[in-house]
Chains A and B, each alone.
Chain A
Amino acid sequence: MLFQSQGFTLLFLPLVLAMYYVAVGNAAARQWVLIAASLLFYGWWDARFLPLLVGQIGATWMLAGLHERTGRRGWLVAGVVLNLASLGTFKYLDFFLASIEAALGQPLPRAHFVLPIGISFFSFQLISYLVDRMRNDAPIYPLRPFALFVLLFPHLIAGPIVRHNELVPQFALDPLREGLWKRAGAGLVLFTIGFAKKVLLADPLAGIVDPLFAQAQTAPLTFGGAWTAALGFSLQLFLDFSAYTEMAIGIALLFGLVLPENFRRPYLATNLREFWRRWHISLSLFLRDYLYIPLGGSKKGRARFVFATMGTMTVCGLWHGAGWTFVVWGLWHGVGLAACRMWQSAGLRLPALAGWAVTMAFVLVGWVIFRAPDFATAGSILASMGGAAGFSEPLQGLGLLAAGAAVSALLPSAHEIKDRWLTPQPAWAVAAAALAVYCVLDVGKGAPTSFIYFQFWSRTCTMLPGAGS
């Protein structure tokens, strides 16, 4: 079930909210309502994967319990291995087989597993809990709140990535506590903003971008076409993913829960390190705490820093998709982050505008590699952007690109809107509700398109370096 579908907006969400607030006086009952709703929400896509999801949660909880009783760290290690094995099997097995096949030149069989949606998110959240247990930084929770921490449908499929200690304590809070109406108002507005960004900007941008990337697989794009593809995708990706986050944060607020910030206008960053402090923040923080710092971080010398950065960003790339283009995208950013830190450590500075231009150019090149189905296509688009196919044709969809850029640059982050910008003006309520009605009508014309981030998780890599063209 998609957030932006009529079924979700007009039926599922109102019904779950009604049941939740009927049960609001009983913490256990309202948590069961959310668990049941989340299982239905997940099962709507593919009920076959419910046992996997429930199994990973149950096994992780039991292993943590065994560790609590026996004090043996091995139970936690077993839990991490179990979650990694599940993720590796469903998401990466065919990618590794294809890579080995390319290296050996021998055909190998494939598993052809269907990728369970959201597996990267829930596996990472479970692993983070187990690692925190190893660090003596996580208590044993009762099964119900523990399961709900992973299952909670607003963040289950595409984040933000939430840590147990951010969410579980909130389940005990009374949803009717002080600020109920402000949370509800902000939730409704954030949901509407995300809805509008998705259907009025991100999806129409996809209509321009997708054919260009498809065309680039067979023939070079024009100069204008290549820049349209690169700029359009950069905007589409941000608008789509941040829209999902805003809807997720908005929905959670309606239940009295606060999810963490995920984007803070990343395309205003004036250097690459700042970009990663603004882009997919919950993932950046997760990788920093559970990978970058354990690998050595920046405190153990330059070589260790480069190693930690490159290792972290390689995993970051692989997390986004099982393909070599994603790995190279991660490495590209790893190199950029290492260079950026060294530049800054040397005391060098660029004027803000120049820094912004360099950063955006770097990010733009990265997104072309990220989006392209193979290196040949990415290379072709980048070459056309550089004028290899001449300098013909203007940008396509200029109005849409401009609108997307303006919203990306000007619209504050979800938490900024919630905490600072939104005031209870009646005109805002009417305008937001009218926009929501328009969006509900807009998605009714046919089957809604999936959020773009879902696609990266379902893409399996068949293109390998050298075999991609």
Chain B
Amino acid sequence: MILTADTIKTSERVEIMELDPCETGQRLAEMGFWPGKLIELLVSAPWGDPMAFQIDNTIIALRKDEAKLIRVRAFTSAA
């Protein structure tokens, strides 16, 4: 099932499927939000916005509006 990153729960890990083709979406791609990568929601600020995601070895905070541009799917570890 395809979700967007703004809907995931804290500590949930998901896999990026694709990014919205708009300019901000492309910008996120260039910052490391690349299809196939895993992201984890570390914490969201009061009122649930912005949200801090861990991607690789970096923590990047996005507003909900930007997180919406990232389409993800639930990740189940093979192990």
Q: Do A and B come from one complex?
A: no
B-binding residues in A (CB < 8 A): none
A-binding residues in B (CB < 8 A): none
